[in-house]
Structures are given as C-alpha cells and as structure tokens.
Structure 1
Amino acid sequence: MDDSDQKIPVSIAFVGGGSLNWATGLMADLAHDRQLAAEVRLYDIDHAAACRNAEIGSRHAAASRGRAATYTACESLAEALEGADVVVISILPGSFEDMAQDIAIPAAFGIPQAVGDTVGPGGFVRALRAIPMLAEIARAIRAHAPNAFVCNLTNPMSVLTGTLHAVFPDIRAWGECHEVTKIRRQVAHIANTQAGAERYGHRDVEVNVLGINHFTFVNRILLDGRDMMPTYEEFVRAHMQSGWAQTEPGKDADYATYFGTRNLVAFDLFRRFGIPAAAGDRHLAEFLPVAEYLHDPEQWGFTLTPVDYRVRDRAQKQQRAEALRAGDIAPEAVRSDEALIEQIVALLGGEMHIGNVNLPNRGQMTDLPEGTIVETNAVFSRRGVEPICAGRLSQALAARVRDHAARQDALLRAVLECDHAALFPLFREDPLVAPLPDSAAREMFAQMLAATAHVLPDELKGAA
C-alpha cells in the first residue's frame, strides 16, 4: 500500500472561498500535508473569486507531496455544505470601505483604533454587520452539514463564534485565532538566543491560555519540558523600556511598518498584572481606555493600521492570485503557522492535537460566566474539541475581561432578538467610548450606523 492510500479522506466546505489569505494558506498547507485526501468546495458571494481560487488550488495540488486535494467552486452555500465533514468560515463582513468608516468616524470624535475589528466602536459596528451573516451560515450548516466540525476564522471572533452556537446549539464549532503565536515566537527566539542556534520554532512552545479573543494571557510556558516563565519574565524586564521588535516571518518592510510592534503594551500589562499578555499590542490596546495606550501609539511602539494600506495590500494579493491562476508564477507549498490541518487530522482520528481556541465556557475559565465565549487550550481528537481547564486570572484583570465578555454576550443577544433599545447603551459602555459626552457618543453611533446601513439587514437599520 503506498502513502497516498493511507490518507484520511475529508470533505471541506470553505465559506468565503474567494479569500486571498486563509483560503490560499489552506491550499499551501494541504499541498504540504501528507495525511489528508481533501475535497475542498469553495463558496463565495463573489463566485468569480471562488473560481479563481479553485484554479489556484488545482495548481497547488499539482505540486503536492502526496495525494492531491481537489477544488471546486460552488454556486450556492447549500451545494458547498451538503454532507461536508469540515466547514471553514472566513468572510469579510462588508468591505474595506465599510471598515474605513469604522475607523474614520471614531477618529473624528477623538477615538483612535489600531485595528477596529474586535472591540471599541469599530468592532461593535462590524459585529452588527456580521452577526446576521453568521446566523445565516449557522442555519445552513444545521440544514446541510449538521455533523460537521466548524472552524470560524472571522472577527469579531468571540461574538461570531457565539452566534454559531446560539443559532445552532448542537454545532461542533470553534473559533481559530493565531495571535497567541506571537508570544510562542518570542519564547522560541529567547531559547534560540540562549542556545546560540535556531533549534526551536513556535510549535515547540507550550502555553496555557486564559482570556477572550485578542485579550489573552498565559500563566504557564514550557519548552522541552522546561519551565520558561522565569526566563520570559527576565526577558520582559530587560526590554521593558526599549521593547522588542516583532514582525511575522516572511513579511516585507511595508507589512512591518503597519503591523509590527515592539511589545511595549504587552510588557507593560505584565508589569501591571503580573502575567504575560499573549496577543499583539495592536489588539490589546483596544480593550483599554484611550488614555492608557492608544493616545500615543508611537510611544508604545505600534501603529494605527490605515485601511488604505489594507486596500493596497488586497490589490497586490489580487494581482499575485491572478498570476498564480494564469500559471505565470508557481505556487509555493510553504507550511503556514496555522494549526488547522493538525486539528482536522486529529478530529478525523489522527494524532491528538492541543492548541488555543475559542469555545463556550463550560468551566474552563472559572472566573467568567458559563456559556460566554472564552479562549483557552483544547484537545482535538476523534471525540471532538474538548476544552482544558485553564484556571483563573487575577481579580483586577478578570474584572476587565469579564466586562468585555458580558458586553459581547449582550450585543449578540440584542442583535439576534432585534432589541434596538439595548444597542446604544452597550456601545456607550465600551472603554474607548465611555469618556465621550453622551451627545457625542450618540452622534458617533448614528453616523456609524448610517455609514454601514447598506450592509445591515432591514431589522437593524432603525437601531440609531
């Protein structure tokens, strides 16, 4: 029996299959993988983009290391989902032009945002656009692939993963985010520096994760069975003032300009709360009042990523995708930093996998309410995705995390129940919005809703 005959068959429905990021990353990972025999169905409201990606996928498959994955562009969501083993959701709620308004309108009211897709006024309005979309997808999964494992990659991660579970309580869904990779890379760097050689990568570092998406912390760090927490604490103390520059491998200087950080926010949170912060500074800063970090991003070593950069980056990726489709350049089967392949293999009976994911709280975080979406480690195996008890945060930090988690839960309920009256008070309570005079907060909310009204369902258009 040859290697290809031993592969695990899997049908993957990719919702948002025209993606220029996650979809093409999955293609490269499948081409690199030796364990799965994948049939990938790509669905996107932009069908031409899904067709383009199907051609790119076929080119990746031709260069694969084992049995090639197959790619099909589907014209309907139902067609893509029917009988799927795994569903991957990676959509853009609205457009970059909508996201530009999520950033620009609050900025005019004195609220800077580095990302604007999770919390703060930008994250709130993005959620208003996205929750109805994820609700529709959840209903379609219930109808066409009720037993599928479902991976959500779309932000705001906590609210949208919660939407899937609220609409289809029996769904086998988790939210996947790579932010925690940042601290794992830091620890690998520290260990390699000590060893004087490149011995470790982020996959070698084990961390125990606590928190909610993009506001995550770790209270245990292991490498080769060695407790790395004292070493990491020493590293933070040594770089508390100067910071430590971090960019993602393989990214160009332009990317580093807009997405690189010096980890000064994370290091300062460690000083304040005594626990390492796991997410990147650009996300962490948005969970806290403007006066703490966002008032002076240059001082804190990060940038407010402009949406026009994202638009330029998208255009470049579209050009590269077209060149891949046409065969002008060859696909590279370079393994990404993502763990989705390992997760799928484990769920279908392969080697067990442990990693951080977003799931409803079933006791894995004892200081947050049951049912709220939390980010902790979980075990992936044939039994499904089972959260691991993560423990507790300090009282002061838990209060901040709980505040955001409660607001995310209430926002989800308000949208699903069309409770318009609840929306502005929740918007008003966010730490970035709270310092504004009430009249200014109301005007900002009204302007943001008006700017995104063309994307909102009819039942939400009167929320202002």
Structure 2
Amino acid sequence: MSFKIAIIGAGSVGFTKKLFTDILCVPEFRDIEFALTDINEHNLQMIKAILDKIVESNRLPTRVTATTSRREALTSARYIISCVRVGGLEAYADDIRIPLKYGIDQCVGDTICAGGILYGQRNIPVILDFCKDIREVAEPGAKFLNYANPMAMNTWAAIEYGKVDTVGLCHGVQHGAEQIADVLGAKSRSDLDYICSGINHQTWFIDLRLNGRKIGKDELVAAFEAHPVFSQQEKLRIDVLKRFGVYSTESNGHLSEYLPWYRKRPEEITRWIDMSDWIHGETGGYLRHSTETRNWFETEFPQFLASAEKPIDPSKRSNEHASHILEALETNRVYRGHFNVKNNGVITNLPADAIIESPGFVDRFGINMVSGITIPEACAATCIASINVQRMSVHAAISGDLDLLKLAVLHDPLVGAISTPEEVWQMVDEMVVAQAGWLPQYADAIPAAKERLAKSTVKTRDWAGAARRNVRSIDELRAEKAALKQAV
C-alpha cells in the first residue's frame, strides 16, 4: 500500500515517534509517506532525524518529509493527525497561573475549567484553518484524527464548522482498563472486557467482565481499596466509584477538575490528591511535567537518536488508536475501540450535538458506533454540565463573543464552586489580554478588556496553589532516573 499521512504538530517528539512506530508495525504500511509539519523548525528537524534513523535502521522504504508549510504537508494526504498545542508552554503557563489568582487550582487545565476553556479558544481558529486546508488540498474524503486537547471542543469545531470527517482519539479508556485488570488480578489484559461511555475525560466503565464474569461495584471498590498503590493514588476516583457506582476512565488529577466538589478548598485538595506523580492531582502538575519533558529532550537528544536504531518490535505496538484505525480502514481487519464523535443518538441520555466517547468498530466501511447506550443518571448529569460549557466555549471561539466566553467560564462546575461572577469576568479579561497573540477572534474586544482591568477593584492573590512542586533541573532528573534504575 502507498498513501500519505500528515502529522500536524509533529514537534511533539515522543508522541510522534510512538505513532510512527505503531503505524509501521502494520506490514502493509511499510511503503507509505509521513509528512511532518510544525511551526517549530528546531523540533521538526529533531523528530525527522529520529524517524529517518528508524527507517534507516529497519531498512524500510518509508518516506519521511518535514516542512513548516502545513499546506504542503497536507497536499494529497489520506490521513491527517493533529498533536498541536497552540500557544505552547508559554500560553499554557497562563492557563494555570491566572486562575490561581482567583482561587482556582487546576492539575491539568486542558479540557474544561478556566484553563481548558481558554485552551479551546486558542485551538479552534487553528483547527478550522487545518480543516480548510484538508478540504482544499488533501486527498478527497481524507480523515482527520485529532489527538489534541481540549478533545471535545476541537472535535466539535472540526465536525460542525470545519466540515471534515473527524474522529477524536484519547488513551484514557485504555489506561483505566489497565488499572482495573491490575486490581482484579487478571492474568492478561485481554481477560478484561468492558464497555465505556460518556464524554472525553468523563467516560465511565458501565459494564465490566473478567473472563466473562460480570464485575459489580462492591467487588471493584474492594479491589481498589486493597491495592497498595492505587488505594493512595486514586482516592478521589475511588470515592466517585463508591457514590456513582461506576469507575471513571480519567486520572485522579484530571477528574478532580471536572467536578465541583473536590478542589473547591485548599484543605480538600490535599485530602484527595496524591503527590507521588503529577497525574494524581498536583497543582499545575501537567505543566511541570511538560516543561521537564521538553527540557530533558533538548538536553538528551543524542540519547533519543541512538535509541532510534533499535528494530521495530510489533509486540510492543502501543494501544493508541491511530495505527489500529488505519489498519482496519485499509486492510478490513476489524478493530474495536472507544472514539470521540458527534453523539446523534449513540448515547440516549446525552445531547445529540455533543461530542461523546463511546465504543465503535472500524472496518473498510469506516467507524461504526454502537448506538442506543444509556449511561447512569449521575454520570449523565456530570457529562451534561461539561457539555453545556463545551458548547458555549465552541460558539464563543467561533464568534469571538467575549460575553459568551465569560458565561462559559462562569458555568464551568469547578469555577462556579469557587468564584463570583465579578471574579470570573475579570479573570477572563485578564486571560484574553495575556493571550491576545493567540486569540485573533477577540482582537476587537481586547482594548476594552484592558481598560476594564485598569479600573478593576476585584481583589486577587499571589498564590502558588495547594500542592505545587517546582520544575526539576536536568541534574535532578538524572539523579532521580539513576536512583529508579538502581532500585530496579
């Protein structure tokens, strides 16, 4: 087979390498072309060097090109994968820093909450530019695979306004299933069967079978509470399981941001999180992790390049959906996964226009969703609260309506549990002014926002958050990695 895959935001080096090697685990795909594009020429050349080394070491006919011209990369592409982070770490730092001044403590801030909503405002205009190029220069009927957050908002905009065949992809379901298999003592992950349904980062394991035996709430709660690691790292998630009756796919830290109950007071935050790793609830944890990862890659690039000489091992193919979807579409080998698509009745008790995450099967005829699923009422209630915020956020990003953006932030569950309307109005003004360079749709509203900020009487505070850790130096990271290696 010979076709072209374009990867936008290919400078996300580690993830691009994973997708690349996964796809090349499919024997029929050895003769395809990967077109890499990124606005960062430096990162682009680093990832091209790594992928070229993989091709050379494995003696493959695969072609790898790299260009900062997105349109050139998309020309004649059959599949387009997006891994972009619009605004980079600079804008992301504001997504965390500014809400902290108003008492809003986020672990990740890339899905909803104040940070995730502003992230969507930066992303959506760019997503629509991608879609325009796809419609105009990609292969007719090209499929857009979106990995970028905020997943639901980006996918919503691409489908509803970009008019491109789009599916949103995440790995939360797979990671949650790995945990459940572990706590239940499964001999193999394949022993666990499950149905997850909901919205991205609020998807729920509504049916669990271990070797065909149905697993109920009480057994799952007992298994998690008895686990020496997860009982400490996933305290909030276990509490939600006890109350809702089903387990969430999302990590302790992520889930804590989407609900109005666990991060509303500093003493509550420290009660429910775990500081053994960023993903369990640390303030600004993913920002710290991302910063350290970028710094580590920059310093240790020769090590990454050397590791690219290893042969591709199909047995180590990851559970990221992209390669499996492409394999099913091109070879008709059926793949079952959980995908982000427009609802349209797939989940009976969520709105039709929402972007949901639910099971589907892929074959040569496309992605075929399992319809008629009803999720538990409590799960639907929390999902609908987020969907309403997502819908307003998408409409604000499309229209450049600053008042609608403020209303979206006001209705966010965690923001609403902490902040007054006056605080929200000022916080959004401050965020759009700080990020004006990435928010062209709000250009006309920025001068008035600056004037309001100059006259504001709403008090803020200089607060690092309830559980902040400093970014570690390269020497600290080296020492920690060496200690872990020695312990093993």
The 3 A distance-change label for structure 1 pair 461 and 428 is farther
Identical-pair percentage? 25
Does the Cα contact within 8 Å between 1:102 and 1:122 map onto a contact in 2? yes
Aligned partner of 1:55 in structure 2 is: 49
The 3 A distance-change label for structure 1 pair 261 and 309 is farther
Q: 1:209 aligned to 193, 196, 201, which one?
A: 196
Q: Deviations over 1:146-195 (max 9, x none)?
A: 411211000000000111112233x221000001122211232245x36x
Distance across 1 between alignment mates of 2:23 and 2:197: 30
Q: Deviations over 1:235-280 (max 9, x none)?
A: 422444x76535xxxxxxxxxxxxx972222211111111221221
Paired AA for residue 281 in structure 2: T
Aligned partner of 1:234 in structure 2 is: 219
Aligned partner of 2:207 in structure 1 is: 220
TM-score by length of 1: 0.86
Instruction: Name the one with the larger helix percent.
Output: 2
Aligned partner of 2:188 in structure 1 is: 200
Q: How do 1:9-408 residues align onto structure 2 when only pairs under 5 Å count?
A: 9-37=2-30, 38-64=32-58, 67-145=60-138, 146-169=140-163, 171-191=164-184, 193=185, 199-201=187-189, 205-224=192-211, 226-230=212-216, 233-240=218-225, 245=229, 262-291=233-262, 295=266, 296-300=268-272, 301=274, 302-304=280-282, 305=285, 307-325=287-305, 327=306, 330-331=309-310, 333=312, 334-389=316-371, 391-408=373-390
Does the Cα contact within 8 Å between 1:348 and 1:382 map onto a contact in 2? yes
Distance across 2 between alignment mates of 1:188 and 1:238: 10
The 3 A distance-change label for structure 1 pair 244 and 384 is farther
Aligned partner of 2:453 in structure 1 is: none
Distance across 1 between alignment mates of 2:307 and 2:243: 52
- Tell me how far 1:313 sits from its aligned partner: 1.5
Which deviates more, 72-81 or 114-123? Answer: 72-81
Distance across 2 between alignment mates of 1:244 and 1:109: 36
Which deviates more, 284-293 or 361-370? Answer: 284-293
Distance across 2 between alignment mates of 1:313 and 1:17: 16
Distance across 2 between alignment mates of 1:73 and 1:222: 45
- Tell me how far 1:131 sits from its aligned partner: 0.8
**Secondary structure at the counterpart of residue 438 of structure 2:** coil
Does the Cα contact within 8 Å between 1:152 and 1:175 map onto a contact in 2? yes
> What is the alpha-carbon root mean square deviation over aligned residues?
2.4
The 3 A distance-change label for structure 1 pair 441 and 75 is closer
Does the Cα contact within 8 Å between 1:59 and 1:331 map onto a contact in 2? no
The 3 A distance-change label for structure 1 pair 238 and 348 is closer
The 3 A distance-change label for structure 1 pair 228 and 432 is same
| Unaligned residue ranges in structure 1 (runs of 5+) | 1-7, 247-259
Aligned partner of 1:249 in structure 2 is: none
TM-score by length of 2: 0.82
Paired AA for residue 295 in structure 2: A
Aligned partner of 1:456 in structure 2 is: 439
Does the Cα contact within 8 Å between 2:400 and 2:441 map onto a contact in 1? no
- Tell me how far 1:415 sits from its aligned partner: 1.6
**Secondary structure at the counterpart of residue 121 of structure 2:** helix
- Tell me how far 1:39 sits from its aligned partner: 1.0
The 3 A distance-change label for structure 1 pair 449 and 331 is farther
Q: How many residues align?
A: 432
The 3 A distance-change label for structure 1 pair 352 and 321 is farther
Distance across 2 between alignment mates of 1:233 and 1:144: 54
Paired AA for residue 258 in structure 2: F
Distance across 1 between alignment mates of 2:265 and 2:116: 15
Distance across 2 between alignment mates of 1:374 and 1:461: 33
Paired AA for residue 328 in structure 2: A
Paired AA for residue 237 in structure 1: A
Distance across 2 between alignment mates of 1:268 and 1:36: 45
